[in-house]
Chain A
């Protein structure tokens, strides 16, 4: 795999590596230092809740990156990515439920509390294995990946594209939400999974564990960014864009758009699952509302706002929209949904390339203006 690592190094330019270094400096050095080393009464101190909030944003950014890969580059507008995120979250949640052991309210070492409450006598078969961290971590990618593979295979093979695909992915996440709401499903029903005690032996109540989860989110986002970058700069990335722009033409070149979309969709679902698995320990709960269709639509808005078809745009969009959401739901909660709707309309009509496009546009305008003024000055001289 030496040629692979060589290509990984050459797939970016110097700007990419500087950007990554700056990102790492901010998220892996500056944030921990401001939180841990700066005294609590200092104005520069970063409170613990902010670290967890940033950790949440990093998970959203990873989810947006996954969405951008399949939508921004491959043209598949999946409005069911919230489901893959939630499934990854449930997988790690099941592990954390098992890790509670006999420390639950009912003190039952074999059954999670909600099962005791429902009078269940034994653990359902699909909970087997989740007491093992490695198994749970495997399921974090396998379950969303398998669902995406089967669902994608059926949809892409039948050449379901565009808005029809978006609608059936919405139906998928809605159906999963209804299913997970049922107590008989064995995933805690309405309340979901919560009251987690620890993860891999680390106490979840400790700030150090929270910092660890935050750092893990930052590192995973960085790695996922590199993976996504490797894919979109490869020839496959160019074929993906070709599928996005003229799918039937790609078929006549001998490529199989079905196989390509299936690959990207499955990989993207796995990344979404990882995002969910990093998210749930940080927020301490996973319940069926994560499957709600509106959540999946919101992901598309993050990507659209940031700029689809650019990886950095997806990350930026996730941070910008969620930052605004955190601020506004505190300042004027009744306005948030209107603003979100307005944001989507403004972005769709006014800035099709999102924040990234806006930046590039204003830069180009600035250059043009300075060129014009220079020319004028030269004429006057």
Chain B
């Protein structure tokens, strides 16, 4: 798996060629905060329908990478392309979200004062303009869509409950449900099982595998929990000091001496 088409920045070709057929393409992305390089010439290519896990020690740049993809942070240098040719570095958060990239944050952020149902209703893929939102009425079909998502993330019996009263794990599932309502083509999940019980972790792994199964969407999962990464059984990218250290199956990267040295061996 390590020999999968893995572009390096030395390759003498423009981004257009390398980005062909990819859903997400990062090349030479660099971000510095006050001289500290959070991302250092990071390159990553994701195929449509792919499930990818990203691991790395604290400060490796995992969250900064998500910030760059979702428009929260602008890179100093480098290309960030979605769907082969859309330049994400020129768009803001809401434009990128409308384009089809959804993000679940490390700390679950749901709208605590709204009910679980209303949280999903806000995420539902609709016209986002202010007036359209003012005059919006939920159709029967959309209500069914919400009900189906509630079922899928295991919150069917919590629809009327205030989101703030959910357990930590349930909030994480609600956030994943919100991404599903947006019907996004690329889901970025930042530590989806942090703080979850073993049973919840297992259920989340099943949920993510279920989402990846039909290959209609691509998923990037950032996670520390190696058991969880193993359960997903997907290609693993190891980040270290803002760039890619290794890529391949979990067994392959775990056997990689460089990885052992900076991360797993500690």
Contacts and interface: CB of A to CB of B under 8 A. Distances in A.
Interface of A: 3-4, 7, 231, 234-236, 238-239, 241-242, 245-246, 248-256, 259-260, 263
Given A245-B112, A259-B130, A253 B136 contact: no
A236 B126 CA distance: 12
A242 B122 CA distance: 9
A3 B97 CA distance: 31
Given A236-B134, A242-B111, A245-B113, A256 B94 contact: yes
B123 interface: yes
Contacts of B130: 236, 256, 259-260, 263
B22 interface: no
B134 A231 contact: yes
A256 B113 CA distance: 20
B114 A241 contact: yes
A251 B122 contact: no
Contact of B94 (A3, A241, A242, A255): A255
A182 B103 CA distance: 53
B118 interface: yes
A7 B93 CA distance: 32
A258 to B, nearest CB: 9
B44 to A, nearest CB: 20
Contact of A253 (B113, B114, B178): B178
Contact of B113 (A3, A241, A251, A259): A241
A258 B67 CA distance: 20
Interface in B105-121: 105, 109-114, 118, 121
A235 B182 contact: no
Interface in B134-154: 134-137
Contacts of B105: 249
A236 B133 contact: yes
A252 B114 contact: no
B128 A235 contact: no
Contacts, number: 76
Given A241-B113, A242-B122, A245-B111, 19 more contacts: A234-B134, A236-B136, A238-B111, A238-B122, A239-B122, A242-B111, A245-B113, A246-B109, A246-B111, A248-B72, A249-B105, A251-B92, A251-B97, A252-B94, A253-B123, A254-B94, A254-B128, A256-B94, A256-B128
A317 B6 CA distance: 65
Q: With a 10 A CB-CB cut-off, give which of A4, A231, A238, A253 has the most chain B CB atoms.
A: A253
Contact of A249 (B109, B134, B137): B109
B218 to A, nearest CB: 17
Given A238-B121, A242-B111, A254 B134 contact: no
7 contacts: A234-B134, A236-B133, A252-B97, A252-B103, A253-B97, A254-B128, A263-B130
Nearest to B115: A238
Interface string B60-94: 00000000001010000000000000000000111
A256 B132 CA distance: 13
A7 B109 CA distance: 31
Contacts of A245: 111-113
B94 A235 contact: no
Q: With a 10 A CB-CB cut-off, give which of A239, A246, A252, A263 has the most chain B CB atoms.
A: A252
| Among all A-B residue pairs, the 9 with the closest Cβ atoms | A254-B97, A251-B93, A236-B134, A235-B136, A254-B98, A236-B133, A242-B111, A249-B109, A263-B130
Nearest to A230: B134
Contacts of B109: 246, 249
A257 to B, nearest CB: 8
Contacts of A251: 92-94, 97
Nearest to A260: B130
Nearest to B109: A249
Nearest to B114: A238
